[in-house]
Structure 1
Amino acid sequence: MSEIILTPRAAKRITEIMGDEPPGSLLRISVNGGGCSGFSYSFDIARDREDQDLVIERDGATVVVDPVSVQYMAGSTIDFVNDLIGQSFKIENPLATASCGCGTSFSL
């Protein structure tokens, strides 16, 4: 399985966000059915890791992805962008065949 990469910009932003959260908090990313293209990404602050979670760590930031979501995100890069439409996490997913304009929904 291809790894999931966390960019330095994403790690920096996650660290900033977690600075206001209780110690041990981490970012959980999951893939859910729905959204305008069939699947959507969910970003949640979590306190616990599950035994089967994929744990991605970089520069003090921790991201966890559940095993079902990992199969839909294999080879992805998680980035943080600041562009004309605002600031957001962006996932470059090589498995996605299409995505919506907002970038949080995709199809396979």
Structure 2
Amino acid sequence: MTETATIEVDLLPAAAKRVAAIATKLGKDAALRLSVEGGGCSGFQYRFGLAESIESDDHVTERDGVKLVVDSISLDLLRGSAVDFVESLGGASFQVTNPNAASGCGCGTSFSV
């Protein structure tokens, strides 16, 4: 597990709180895995899920006892990003603010570089 003093991808407090609540309900470790996959309407899409394991080349950020796990390939596209949890009239979701994204789609789950 690779941990650095520099926060490559930040996990904001609202997202950490939501991950902790989900993990507690499911009886799992409070570790959110964020990855980038090809697809979506803009070329790349974000994938979220509870991390089943942490690999040696994963980047790990921790806030309030909750881990954000990003694989080394996705990290290149996510460096400098922040993960938040937002609730609105339209619903609730994890959202990524990604400075590397040249454009995104209306749903907020896909982007291009």
Q: Does TM, scored on the shorter chain, surpass 0.5?
A: yes
Which residue of structure 1 aligns with residue 66 of structure 2?
61
Structure 2 residue 97 is matched with structure 1 residue 92? yes
CA distance in 1 between partners of 2:24 and 2:18 (Å)? 10
Letter in 1 for 2:106: G
SS in 1 for 2:26: coil
When the two structures are aligned, how many residues end up with a matched partner?
108
Which residue of structure 2 aligns with residue 75 of structure 1?
80
CA distance in 2 between partners of 1:23 and 1:88 (Å)? 20
Q: For the structure 1 residues 78 and 105, does the alpha-carbon distance in structure 2 shift closer, same or farther, using more than 3 Å as the test? A: same
- Check conservation: 2:78, 2:98, Cα contact below 8 A: yes
Q: What aligned pairs does 1:1-108 form with structure 2 within 5 A after superposition?
A: 3-24=8-29, 26-108=31-113
Gaps (5+ residues) in structure 2? 1-5
Which residue of structure 1 aligns with residue 3 of structure 2?
none
Question: What's the offset of the Cα at 1:24?
Answer: 3.0
CA distance in 2 between partners of 1:56 and 1:46 (Å)? 13
Letter in 2 for 1:47: E
Kindly, what percent of the aligned residue pairs are identical? 49
Q: For the structure 1 residues 2 and 19, does the alpha-carbon distance in structure 2 shift closer, same or farther, using more than 3 Å as the test? A: closer
Gaps (5+ residues) in structure 1? none
Superposed CA RMSD: 1.5
Letter in 2 for 1:58: R
